[in-house]
Structure 1
Amino acid sequence: MAAIVRVLPFLLLSLYMVVPLARVDWFENHETTSYLARTVETVVCWADGDLRARWFPDFAAGFGLPYLSFYAPLTFWGGAFFHQFGADVPTALKVVIFVAALLAMSGAYRLAREATARGPALAGALLYVYSPYTVRNVYVRGDLAEYLAMAFLPWALYGLVRAARRPGVTSALIAGAGGAGAILSHNIMGMLVGLAMALTAIVVFFTTERARRKLLFPTLTMGGAAALLLSQFFWMPALAEKDWTNLSALQEGFFSASQYHLAPSEIFGLRGEPRVHTPGEAEPLGFELRFLPWLALLGLAAA
């Protein structure tokens, strides 16, 4: 009973993320119905006995496409999994959104509890799950893969921070599972989570008492290694087979990441023209958070 009482607030607070989706079969977003189609193809692969679902047989006008050979598969595996229990594909993906919100809420809470009391930790978890960027990922961009990857970030960092207090296999596995979950959810976010894990491990190591570092170092190392090992069945074949495709085109022209880097004025500016999410479309995608970054800097300075 006590466990239910502890979990219930997280369930209720996470459920609010999908309440608006209960009114519609699916919702308009930048991805339109692409997540539905990919999940359907994953279900088809599973029905044929291909649990890895690397090749979507009906894509590319029926010629097939090695979609999940190169794109992180966990979101679509999740949708296909809940579909096995009778949910239609749109509902199954809504359950994935709810599970991601629950993971993010509980992970951010556990991470914050390493440094603060329950009340502030819960407030921090709410801010993480319902921040403008994460909500926009679902309701505007429709980027469920990135949303799911961000749900694993707090767990990856929590395992590393926890290691300073309780070094050992458990902390390493928490960090490793969080890192692997991010890698298997979203390619780019997986790399960013890996970078965040590396920086966090360095900070944790050098802020821990010198006498405890010998116990801490193996745990931090195992956490990073576990993230790579648990996800290697995805990223190793993708790297080995990348030369068989035209992946290099994703680094050129419209797809080049360099043209989407934000200037400091776009982050800290109080006024500015919002960007447009794709050329020729009128919907703005503003990055200016007005006074919020300045409040964050003041809070950091005060701490």
Structure 2
Amino acid sequence: MNKKLLAIIGLLLISVLVSWNIFKPGFFSMHDDLQVMRLYEMKRCLNEGQIPCRWSPDMSFGYGQPMFNYYSATPYYTGAVFKSLGFSFLFSTKIVMFISIALAGIAMFLFLSQFISILPAFVGGAAYILVPFRALEIFVRGALAENFALALLPLVLYGIIRLIIKKDKISFVLLSFFSGLFFASHNITTLISSPLILSFAIILILLNKHRINTLILLSGSAILGIGLAAFFLLPVLFEGNLVNTGFLTSGYFDFRAHFATLSQLFINQSWGYGASEFGPNDKLSFSVGIVQSLALIAAPITLFINRKSLLKTPKFLLATFFVFGLLSLFLTSIRSISLWELITPLSFVQFPWRFLGLTALCSAVVLAVFLSSLNLKSQKTFSILLVFALFFINFRYFKFEKSFPSATDDTYLTGPVFEQSQQSAFFDYRPLSMVTVPENIAPANPVVLSGLGEVKNFQKRSAYFSADVDVSFGQATVTFPITAFPDWKVYLNSSITPTPYQIDKEHGEITITFNKGITLVQGYFEDTSIRKIANAITFISLLLVLVIVVAPHDKKNTQ
């Protein structure tokens, strides 16, 4: 059997073992208990023709929220694919969780195997799976989107080095595709990881003899990748002023309250399922990992001892990832607070210990390159010992605090649990029109505020609502249980011209005054100019990918 394939199978087996608790019957507890709800909202969007999904009608107490206009797209589109194949919402969520674990190891292996031998690359993949922070992400925090993005990160790095080596159109398209998935997966991880990706690419360009051609190839592929993710990126960048974002960086989410101590990073190996709190008394673990910590210590020693024998590319890579590993650790410490206050966008990271995701990646690379510097016999011995140590030390973390064996889709998508999910994350992407927190779930039907009127045949979908409003005398004012947000437009009696509407001062509901008679009212969630441009760029980028794939292959251009 091909050695690479054997290594990938081995990493899949490791992933199955650490994911075993995920696939037990029912579901489980986690901090971010909205994964099933988010997938439900995504699938509802797609079923009702809202593509791409932006407006989530059941969120914000049932008044609606532009969740997927800003929040991670890739993991939930992935989950929607599995739901379309007939799996339940719960099981589809579990599949995406498993993918985020398995893909991390396999992507790391593919990346490392481009410049070191298979065995050290395999250990690097195992180290990227069996790291405490990954267990924290899935089994404690339930940070599915963040973990998914961290799994895609080495895939982007793999795409970069593959394109530089092969210089073929398949590699060009793969890097664009991987980049697009990554950019649309998790905003914070993109922010944290971009300096590493850029530095890695620059170093490889400088090490390459054909620097200009390499720069053109990488730039073109990256631009195409950004184009593929434009449907998501442009609204995030240019429509942030349409929602209340102050909550995301203040109070509990102020980064100043969430720095990690050296003891938490390197000494304290206790595990917990509580919250991140101000000071050192957090109820969860920020451990770098014993093996991962030793790898970072071994990096400078390896560079010094093998400064002549180590191949040029691995040496530069070892140095690069060692430096970024130290930098990511520094940024988790309160000693970096002046840097956090200087670089304003970092405030959206919220938790400085999120940089441990980057530390996990860097330590896995450093560990693998360290192994590759040893002779073959030592490689085999150390590889066995390290994989055993990774399992022995970290496997115990990959379990949930509580499980609910009898839970089904109905448990989460009906009744009180569903209503609780509707109320959760209310402040995350709250439209400016919604000023106060509702006391109750939105009414199922429109409410006549004044006048003699009756609302019949009310329908509410993810991006559309309609009703017949019968006013028997004078005028009647009706409020619809949908929060106003650009670009909800209302049309009366099938008119092609939208009618102006009022906005409720508390919950931001769409409110209309009707004259005597029966009026057909229809509301459509339409795209703003930014979204139209973003969708067009993504569509054009998809066409370009198709053209590149089907275009005749010119061997002369790849030499």
CA distance in 2 between partners of 1:101 and 1:274 (Å) = 20
TM-score, length-normalised on structure 1? 0.87
From the superposition, tell whether residues 2 and 263 of structure 1 become closer, same or farther in structure 2 (CA, over 3 Å). closer
User: Partner residue of 2:105?
Assistant: 105
CA distance in 1 between partners of 2:194 and 2:175 (Å) = 10
CA distance in 2 between partners of 1:216 and 1:100 (Å) = 30
Once the two structures are superposed, residues 228-275 of structure 1 have per-residue CA deviations (whole angstroms, 9 ceiling, x without a partner) of 1111110102222211111133222322334434466654x5469999
From the superposition, tell whether residues 4 and 131 of structure 1 become closer, same or farther in structure 2 (CA, over 3 Å). closer
* Partner secondary structure for residue 80 of structure 1: helix
User: Are the counterparts in 2 of residues 277 and 283 from structure 1 also a CA contact under 8 Å?
Assistant: yes
User: Partner residue of 2:26?
Assistant: 25
CA offset at residue 36 of structure 1?
0.9
* Partner secondary structure for residue 185 of structure 1: coil
User: Are the counterparts in 1 of residues 149 and 186 from structure 2 also a CA contact under 8 Å?
Assistant: yes
CA distance in 1 between partners of 2:44 and 2:226 (Å) = 28
Map residues 233-252 of structure 1 onto 2, 5 A cutoff.
233-252=231-250
CA offset at residue 84 of structure 1?
1.2
User: Are the counterparts in 2 of residues 41 and 58 from structure 1 also a CA contact under 8 Å?
Assistant: yes
For this pair of structures, how many residues does the alignment match? 299
User: Partner residue of 1:115?
Assistant: 115
User: Are the counterparts in 1 of residues 105 and 128 from structure 2 also a CA contact under 8 Å?
Assistant: yes
- Seq. identity, %: 22
CA distance in 2 between partners of 1:51 and 1:125 (Å) = 35
Q: Which amino acid aligns with 2:113?
A: R
User: Are the counterparts in 2 of residues 251 and 257 from structure 1 also a CA contact under 8 Å?
Assistant: yes
User: Partner residue of 2:140?
Assistant: 140
User: Are the counterparts in 1 of residues 107 and 151 from structure 2 also a CA contact under 8 Å?
Assistant: yes
User: Partner residue of 1:231?
Assistant: 229
Q: Which amino acid aligns with 2:13?
A: L
User: Are the counterparts in 1 of residues 101 and 151 from structure 2 also a CA contact under 8 Å?
Assistant: yes
Q: Which amino acid aligns with 2:229?
A: S
Q: Which runs of 5+ in 2 are unaligned?
A: 304-559
* Partner secondary structure for residue 219 of structure 2: helix
User: Partner residue of 1:260?
Assistant: 258
User: Partner residue of 2:68?
Assistant: 68
CA offset at residue 286 of structure 1?
3.3
CA offset at residue 154 of structure 1?
0.8
From the superposition, tell whether residues 301 and 175 of structure 1 become closer, same or farther in structure 2 (CA, over 3 Å). farther
User: Partner residue of 1:91?
Assistant: 91
* Partner secondary structure for residue 140 of structure 1: helix
From the superposition, tell whether residues 273 and 81 of structure 1 become closer, same or farther in structure 2 (CA, over 3 Å). closer
* Partner secondary structure for residue 153 of structure 2: helix
User: Are the counterparts in 2 of residues 179 and 194 from structure 1 also a CA contact under 8 Å?
Assistant: no
User: Are the counterparts in 2 of residues 175 and 223 from structure 1 also a CA contact under 8 Å?
Assistant: yes
* RCO comparison, higher one (Cα < 8 Å, 6+): 2
CA distance in 1 between partners of 2:21 and 2:263 (Å) = 34
Q: Which amino acid aligns with 1:35?
A: Q
TM-score, length-normalised on structure 2? 0.49
User: Partner residue of 1:77?
Assistant: 77
User: Partner residue of 1:166?
Assistant: 166
User: Does 1:301 pair with 2:301?
Assistant: yes
CA distance in 2 between partners of 1:172 and 1:293 (Å) = 35
CA distance in 1 between partners of 2:197 and 2:173 (Å) = 13
CA offset at residue 293 of structure 1?
2.4
CA offset at residue 292 of structure 1?
4.3
Once the two structures are superposed, residues 48-84 of structure 1 have per-residue CA deviations (whole angstroms, 9 ceiling, x without a partner) of 1113221111112221111111101122222222111
CA offset at residue 102 of structure 1?
3.1
CA distance in 2 between partners of 1:23 and 1:291 (Å) = 29
From the superposition, tell whether residues 257 and 176 of structure 1 become closer, same or farther in structure 2 (CA, over 3 Å). farther
User: Partner residue of 1:221?
Assistant: 219
Moved more, 84-93 or 292-301: 292-301
Q: Which runs of 5+ in 1 are unaligned?
A: none
Deviating 4+ runs (over 6 angstroms): 1-4, 272-276
